[in-house]
Structure 1
């Protein structure tokens, strides 16, 4: 039986008491907000110690709805008190900014269960910061870093029975920021909704990539460097075509010269030769991945020389290893890359740099390796 040191109900009671001041400092609307929190802390129908009915050895990466989601709306200058509700559909105006003009951002992070039953989040403040940067670029209101992190904690604890047993995977958390206010002419939305839902996630097999030359992922001075939803639908055509030919995903080149590596559809890429590791510099067209930054720091700690630079596609021929990084994939080995009809194969498995860095990263995320960098937040 898993011992709990902080129950879901207890967390929400603390949120309620800290969110609503005494009579001398009551804000307008506090009564209705307080009643919403009271509804929010109704007992869960599930035992605090039970696991969901899941085959934990065969998770995969697909949507598996969990119990609760978090929702917070901003109609004025800032977000107020959000609340948890059962996972379900949203009601949107047909003229919502996200539907008409793609005004939206998303993030991804994970929750892991330690051997003692407590739950860990990995660098959530970095996701919050990246969302704020993206929101500024997309002319959107965004939650504060504290609001973002607190919402992640609430959502994770509300769905704690879906956090896999130690070593069996992770709970994937998807924060979204979308323009829900109605607009007709091209303009920022008048209302924004910040929400978080959760699903289950397991690792991936080695990737085999196809270098795409007909389509671009991003262009200079565009939005390739922020995690806007509008970056992702355009890659589906190339990705679908590559998968129909037996490849896992697409590796994109820069739109200006078609000679330099950028990133895969939804993750960053690294190449390794001896003790030297290189990854494309984040120059505005490449997303500054949180796993990417973490792996760079860990590689330096392990004595590797890491360069963030322009990497020409021709350098793939001489690489010993290639691997990708991202929230969903972790540190994933690339078994092969095909470019202009030539297939190049790389080392994978035991004894590789990829395996070494992935083991260290996962060890920190799961609480097996001491976190000396302050990356992990223990919430239960």
Structure 2
């Protein structure tokens, strides 16, 4: 493998030496194993290919200053994967199996966990798919659980710098649909609106609620949050939003570490003036400050299009400090590899 420039990774796939694969068959999970081949062989009539019976997760391994490696709240990823699996009638992956698989992949590829100080991480992708050959629309009888990884830099190329977004007319998810599940169909439908946003000169699009198109739901593949002029942390509440582990971590940190009132509530697109700062958050994006939002003919600027606001800076430093082991973590948030 070519020498890796840790300071210029970008967010892209790199073929690592090892991954974990386990097979669900005859009603039970078989013992999984570490494999070297980065290809899967599945039946042409697998439900994952035809009927979208698949879900996935994303989490990261972090290199500490002392050289150790740690995970950030992997139990939450395991629980969210299983909620997605329930929605698509797939077998749950036992939490212990999920975490052991993640740790085994990180250990096997530990030389590719970026060194401390670059802001880079080892991104980990657990994947659950329906396999076997079935023609009818029904749940598969067999499944594969796969965990692979790749070293990554910032999701948005400029890192912790404000980015601008545009409201799209497309819907990300349907009311009472799969919006709260991390399933591939949600992302397949986002490719066109994302492309149109980028072509218009924005980092990504903002989705409004599918029922009324009056309330912010998500920022591309990330969750929205805002800091009000009264210094409150506010994030949208909806059944069609993916429950971001990063967002709920920020809700906790804003309240317990920064002493801020926190709210999950409707965020109306015509009431952006209540916020002095705004951001997008997620495992991949971490925190991306929102410079401004284009909605129809109006372009609303929050703190600045070029500078990071003080509250978002403080939240970022607290969160990333915990993830890299520089700040004391709340109980149960960190697991050693």
**C-alpha separation between the residues in 2 aligned to 1:322 and 1:240?**
23
Check whether the contact 1:142–1:177 (CA below 8 A) recurs between aligned residues.
Answer: no
- Name the residue aligned to 2:173: 218
Are residues 1:235 and 2:190 paired?
yes
**C-alpha separation between the residues in 2 aligned to 1:335 and 1:66?**
35
Residue aligned with 2:233, SS:
strand
Check whether the contact 1:273–1:320 (CA below 8 A) recurs between aligned residues.
Answer: yes
> How far apart are 1:161 and its partner, in Å?
0.9
**C-alpha separation between the residues in 1 aligned to 2:215 and 2:308?**
29
Are residues 1:374 and 2:325 paired?
no
Larger radius of gyration: 1
Residue segments in structure 1 that go unaligned for 5+ positions in a row:
1-45, 47-51
> How far apart are 1:172 and its partner, in Å?
0.2
Check whether the contact 2:289–2:308 (CA below 8 A) recurs between aligned residues.
Answer: no
Are residues 1:187 and 2:143 paired?
no
Residue segments in structure 2 that go unaligned for 5+ positions in a row:
none
**C-alpha separation between the residues in 1 aligned to 2:236 and 2:108?**
38
> How far apart are 1:346 and its partner, in Å?
2.0
**C-alpha separation between the residues in 1 aligned to 2:336 and 2:3?**
25
**C-alpha separation between the residues in 1 aligned to 2:211 and 2:25?**
40
CA offset digits 1:302-343 (Å, max 9, x no partner) = 111111001111122342111011000101111111001211
> How far apart are 1:350 and its partner, in Å?
5.0
TM-score with structure 1 setting the length? 0.84
Quote the RMSD (CA, aligned, Å): 1.4
**Selected match of 2:287 from 314, 327, 331:** 331
TM-score with structure 2 setting the length? 0.94
Alignment of 1:58-69 (within 5 A): 58-69=8-19
- Name the residue aligned to 1:256: 211
**Selected match of 2:297 from 322, 331, 341:** 341
**Selected match of 1:319 from 275, 286, 292:** 275
Alignment of 1:138-287 (within 5 A): 138-168=88-118, 169-203=120-154, 204=156, 205=158, 206-213=162-169, 215-274=170-229, 275-281=231-237, 283-287=238-242
**C-alpha separation between the residues in 2 aligned to 1:200 and 1:354?**
25
> Which of structure 1's runs of 4+ aligned residues deviate more than 4 A?
none
Residue aligned with 1:179, SS:
strand
How many residue pairs get aligned? The number is 327
> How far apart are 1:87 and its partner, in Å?
4.2
